[in-house]
Amino acid sequence: MNIGIQALGTYAPERVMTNQDFEKTLDTSDEWIVSRTGIRERRLAAEGEYTSHLAFRAVEDLIRRHGRSALDGVDLVIVATNTPDALFPATAALVQDRFGLKAGAYDLLAGCPGWGYAIAQAHAMVQSGLARRVLTIGSETLSKILDYTDRSTAVLFGDGAGAAVVGPVPAGYGFKSFVLGSDGSGGKELTLRCIADKLPDGSPIPERAYMNGREVFKFAVRVMNTATLEAIEKAGLKPEDIKYLIPHQANARIIEAARERLQLPPEQVWVNVDRYGNTSTASMPIALQEALDAGKIHNGDHILFVTFGAGLTWAASVLTWWQPD
């Protein structure tokens, strides 16, 4: 069975926070932020607007684009998120209820690569016959967990959501490979407290998101290279076969390093980190939808996804694109 993305929708909150806004409260500047990250602005959820609300809006956009029938046969909902409304109920269960789906539902926590992990799980569930179609969402309100006195994290992240229906597609199309990886020894480099105050190795877990930017940067550059090449090889392809790269939108310099390693021209890589910052699990679906809206991706194109984040974790996949005209 060939399995791919049948429908897609996204949402970003209305509020825009620019680098100039941060200049008013932090010892930073637009030049400093742009030169190190490529970020110029990001979207922030409103007060009282949470991860479930953003997920609802992304599914509503999917319905607007593809019709309510796009959800027909969906019998599983997976929400990849690092900022769930609550530990329980699952945010996925709230989505299931909102849209009246007869479906199982659970949240998936895997750092920024969560949506990459979720689409791999959705693919496996459909392939095994445990599900017919899977509504696979990445949704984040990272603004709720940041320390806005810490310029090393506050300027990096934004809020957003993306929703995809994963299910059968015609022969020759769909996902060709998945690469999932983790290195828990680096867990202390990007962390946030839940119920413990320290990791098993004794490293403290802060109450607001903490990131060792230097170490995460080195890790990201390395796995962006190795994971992309592994995914291409597993798909039975060569780098020159890749038509478009949809990378995790965390840092423009990391994206540029991956592009150069793959020898792709700039016009074959979608970059929107300047406008959204790092939206974690929502990053790749938002980028994919924008590339589609811009007419950059067509049926039969081989698309390469790659993402990295807390865990430390990473994910990459190759998808041969298809959607009905």
Query: pLDDT digits over 110-124, tens only?
Result: 999 999 999 999 999
Q: Cα separations (Å) of 296 from 240, 255, 267, 285, 323?
A: 17, 18, 9, 15, 14
Catalytic residue from among 19, 82, 251, 278: 278
Q: Is 261 helix (H, G, I), strand (E, B) or coil?
A: helix
Which pLDDT band, with edges at 50, 70 and 90, does 35 fall under?
very high
Question: How many Å apart are CA 174 and CA 177, to the nearest integer?
Answer: 9
pTM confidence score: 0.97
User: Per-residue pLDDT for 133 more than 80?
Assistant: yes
* Mean pLDDT across the chain: 97
Query: pLDDT digits over 186-229, tens only?
Result: 999 999 999 999 999 999 999 999 999 899 999 999 999 999 99
Which pLDDT band, with edges at 50, 70 and 90, does 184 fall under?
very high
CB 50 within 8 A of CB 159: no
Catalytic residue from among 19, 53, 82, 248: 248
Which pLDDT does position 46 carry in this prediction? 97
CB 78 within 8 A of CB 117: no
Strands 302-309 and 244-247: parallel
- Going across the sheet that includes 313-320, the strands are 174-182, 313-320, 302-309, 244-247
Note if 278 is an active site residue: yes
Question: How many Å apart are CA 241 and CA 163, to the nearest integer?
Answer: 27
Query: pLDDT digits over 263-299, tens only?
Result: 999 999 999 999 999 999 999 999 999 999 999 999 9
- Name all domains of the chain by residue range, CATH numbers in brackets: 3-168 (3.40.47.10), 174-320 (3.40.47.10)
List helix spans (H) across the chain: 19-23, 30-37, 51-66, 91-98, 114-128, 151-154, 213-234, 252-262, 273-276, 283-293
Which pLDDT band, with edges at 50, 70 and 90, does 62 fall under?
very high
Catalytic residue from among 112, 123, 299, 302: 112
- Segment 84-101 mean pLDDT: 98
Note if 194 is an active site residue: no
What is the sign, positive or negative, of the torsion defined by CA atoms of 17, 19, 23, 27? Answer: positive
Q: Residue 321: CB partners within 8 Å, gap ≥ 6?
A: 4, 5, 173, 297, 298, 299, 300, 301, 302, 303
| Assigned token pair, 45 | 């959820």
Percent of the chain with pLDDT over 90: 98
Measured from the Cβ of residue 132, the count of other Cβ atoms closer than 10 Å reads 15
Question: How many Å apart are CA 3 and CA 64, to the nearest integer?
Answer: 23
Backbone angles phi, psi at 74, to 5 degrees: -70, 120
Note if 19 is an active site residue: no
Which pLDDT does position 324 carry in this prediction? 84
Which pLDDT does position 187 carry in this prediction? 96
User: Per-residue pLDDT for 258 more than 80?
Assistant: yes
Which pLDDT does position 10 carry in this prediction? 98
Output helix, strand, coil percentages for the chain, rounded to the nearest 5: 40, 25, 35
User: Per-residue pLDDT for 325 more than 90?
Assistant: no
Measured CA angle at 279 (ends 176, 186), to 5 deg: 75
User: Per-residue pLDDT for 149 more than 80?
Assistant: yes
- Segment 233-253 mean pLDDT: 98
Query: pLDDT digits over 13-29, tens only?
Result: 999 999 999 999 999 99
Strands 104-108 and 133-140: unpaired
Measured from the Cβ of residue 14, the count of other Cβ atoms closer than 10 Å reads 9
